[in-house]
Amino acid sequence: MRPVFIFAPYWMGNFSPPRAAVARHNWRVIATPLPNGTPTERMGALCSVLADEVAAVRAKGDLPVAIVGDCTLSIGVAAALQRESADFTLVWFDAHGDFNTHQTSPSGFIGGMPLAMLCGRGEQTIVAGAGASVLPEANIILTDARDLDPKEAPAVAQS
């Protein structure tokens, strides 16, 4: 099984040429135009493209290594694994919980919500757009989170 690097140099649904410039010659770079729509609709479409790339690499028996511009794109990787009914545990390394919803976030920043979205909490536009489904919270390990928002902390503790 050889590693295949998939690079999605996007930040919140917007392609970033400076980020794309760091790609190595053998990386698969996602640089696809996204449809018009809300930020979450655009992110859902991008996650679907990423899911297709990850699934194609796995179908060849290779190991996909996704390098992405923000945590929200992890939803696309999860969607690819779910397509093949892979039973997996998601280990989320982040100083932030990424477990906010629009109801708990002080800023409304989508990048602080992807783990909650994968658990079925809050808005599901990106999850649906990626073709993902809710992950059981028992299959998720959040590690190193130490900068939690006031309403996010109780949600993480309860989960």
What's the CA gap between 26 and 67, in Å, rounded?
A: 13
Fold for domain 3-158?
Answer: Arginase; Chain A (3.40.800)
Both tokens of 60, joined, read 């060849």
H-assigned helices in 26-73: 39-59
Type of residue numbered 21: A
pLDDT tens figures, 74-122: 999 999 999 988 789 999 999 999 999 999 999 999 999 999 999 999 9
- What average pLDDT does the chain have? 96
Please choose, from the candidates 149, 84, 109, the residue with its C-alpha nearest in 3D space to the C-alpha of residue 117.
109
